Amino acid sequence: ILNVEQSPQSLHVQEGDSTNFTCSFPSSNFYALHWYRWETAKSPEALFVMTLNGDEKKKGRISATLNTKEGYSYLYIKGSQPEDSATYLCAFNNAGNMLTFGGGTRLMVKP
Amino acid sequence: DAGITQSPRHKVTETGTPVTLRCHQTENHRYMYWYRQDPGHGLRLIHYSYGVKDTDKGEVSDGYSVSRSKTEDFLLTLESATSSQTSVYFCAIDDGASYEQYFGPGTRLTVT
């Protein structure tokens, strides 16, 4: 069983704040790191897939970085909005098609 | 939206009864997965399939079986449901190229 950890488990921020959270994963046998956004009562929605050390991806106000050598990825949200409230999941792929998910970071943005 | 549906969307059943959940896709993707949602664990893989009649176990497969008799359908069966199997179950698919998985809407199962 692979150990994929996310921190913090939950986070409350004010509208307009920028925030970031961490995903740590095994640094050996790395193939890809995925980020998903998961709103309550909906299904997880893919945000990013990153495969190379140093990768940076951006989608609107959300961006992510990847460090495969030390086994971590950061997800950043700039100027948080109430609609950003969701659980953010990372998933580690060590080759093959199986993903191991972290426990998620639950973000709540207060207006 | 990826063409994935799950049925039923909600089910309440009694301990000891068999339950089958269905995942149906219209994308003709080779890989299909069943996950369960557990607080603090995100999503945990139950079983997956890499082709018709080709399946394998995931992290939490005990008490579950699967079948895939055609590309578009992946069935998850709880032979004798227990209260610990109360959860939300998600099906996912991928094409095997990008390894990006697309999720169905989920099935909320309550075992009383």
Mean pLDDT by 10 residues, chain A (111 residues): 90 96 92 94 92 95 96 97 96 84 95 93
pLDDT confidence of residue B42: 84
Distance CA(B96)–CA(B45), nearest Å, equals: 17
B48 contact residues in A (CB cutoff 8 A) = 97-98
Distance CA(B18)–CA(A9), nearest Å, equals: 35
Judge contact between A87 and A30, C-beta under 8 A.
no
pLDDT confidence of residue B2: 63
Out of A45, A46, A101, closest to residue B43 by CB = A101
Distance CA(B44)–CA(B51), nearest Å, equals: 21
In chain B, the residue whose alpha carbon lies closest to the alpha carbon of A89 is: B42
A99 contact residues in B (CB cutoff 8 A) = 45, 99, 101
In chain A, the residue whose alpha carbon lies closest to the alpha carbon of B50 is: A97
Query: HEC profile for B13-54?
Result: ECCCCCEEEEEEECCCCCEEEEEEEECCCEEEEEEEEEECCE
pLDDT confidence of residue A98: 83
- Enumerate residue ranges in chain B where pLDDT < 50: none
User: B38, B101, B107: best mutation site toward chain A, by most A Cβ within 10 Å?
Assistant: B101
pLDDT confidence of residue B97: 77
Judge contact between B85 and B111, C-beta under 8 A.
yes
pLDDT confidence of residue B1: 55
Those residues whose C-beta lies under 8 Å from the C-beta of residue B51, and which sit 6 or more positions away, are B30, B68
Chain B residues 20-39 with a CB less than 8 Å from chain A:
31, 35
Q: Do A44 and B90 touch (CB under 8 A)?
A: yes
